[in-house]
Every structure is written in structure tokens, then in C-alpha cells.
Amino acid sequence: MPRNLYVNLPVKDLERTVDFFAALGFAFNPKFTDENATCMIVNDSTSVMLLVEPYFATFTKKPVSDAKAVTETLLAISVDSRAEVDDFVGKALAKGAVEYAEPRDFGFMYQRGIADLDGHQWEVFYMDEAQFPSQ
């Protein structure tokens, strides 16, 4: 049986964050949504729980990092084409994201990096495994 992955991220303004990710084409599970959190659906087995910072802090004894000041994680998300990488990043930038790295083209893989409204870093990439260099 495949395992499900739930990534939990702290956010400052839940409504603004939902608006940002909805503009990028993500849907949300209303069963796991209230004033403290929402469940952003990535696919059938992966979701991102977006939790307001005070609520997020109740799940850990460690301080909650400021993703605009330190790198807490790199989240990589695949899309279906190079054009979709550029489209996704363009929409994100229009909604307030920041591109933190130059686009990278490895031939078999194309990627761009953005920081969302709270500074979480997302690597948006397309990979053509048929073009992967042979070993």
C-alpha cells in the first residue's frame, strides 16, 4: 500500500496563502480546513498542510523558523512540461512570490526556484527521463 505524505508548513496569513496557491491551480480539502489550517492537495497521496504560525507551533517544542531568513526545506514539485514550469513560476511571481535562483537547464531536466509568500522555497521542475544521461 502506498504511503501518503503530508508536509506541514507555517504561514502568516492563511487566507492570502490559500489565494496564492489557488491561483497556481491547487485545490483544498474542506474536511481539513478551518481558521487555523487548510489541506492543499498536491496529488492522491501528497498534501501540504498550511498552518497559521501559532497553531503550527503547538506541534513542536522547537522554535518555528522564519523561512524568509533561513532555509528550512526545499520542496520540489514536478510539472508536465518546460512551458508549464515557466507558466507556474509566472503565476507565482504575479501573486507575490520571489524567484530566488536562475533557471537551470540540465537537458533532461529544467527547473526554476521560487519562494512563496512566507519564504518557503519551491523547486518547480520538468524532467524527461528518456533524456536522462546513461550511466
Rg of the chain over all Cα atoms, to the nearest angstrom: 16
106 and 45 in a common domain: no
pTM score of the predicted model: 0.89
State whether 47 and 86 are in the same domain.
no
Q: Is 118 in the same domain as 71?
A: yes
Assess whether 6 and 53 both reside in one domain: yes
| Segment 83-123, tens digit of pLDDT | 999 999 999 999 999 999 899 999 999 999 999 999 999 99
Task: Please report which residue ranges of 2-132 form alpha helices under DSSP H.
Answer: 14-23, 53-57, 82-94
User: How many separate domains does the chain show?
Assistant: 2
Going by pLDDT thresholds of 50, 70 and 90, the confidence category of residue 135 is: low
Q: Are residue 97 and residue 115 in the same domain, yes or no?
A: yes
**Is residue 28 domain-shared with residue 75, that is, in the same domain?**
no
Q: Which residues contact 62 (CB under 8 A, 6 or more apart)?
A: none
In whole angstroms, how far apart are CA 109 and each of 20, 24, 92, 98, 122? Answer: 26, 21, 20, 21, 15
Quote the domain boundaries for residue 123: 67-135
Residue-wise pLDDT for 44-77, tens only, equals 999 999 999 999 999 999 999 999 999 989 999 9
One domain for residues 51 and 83:
no
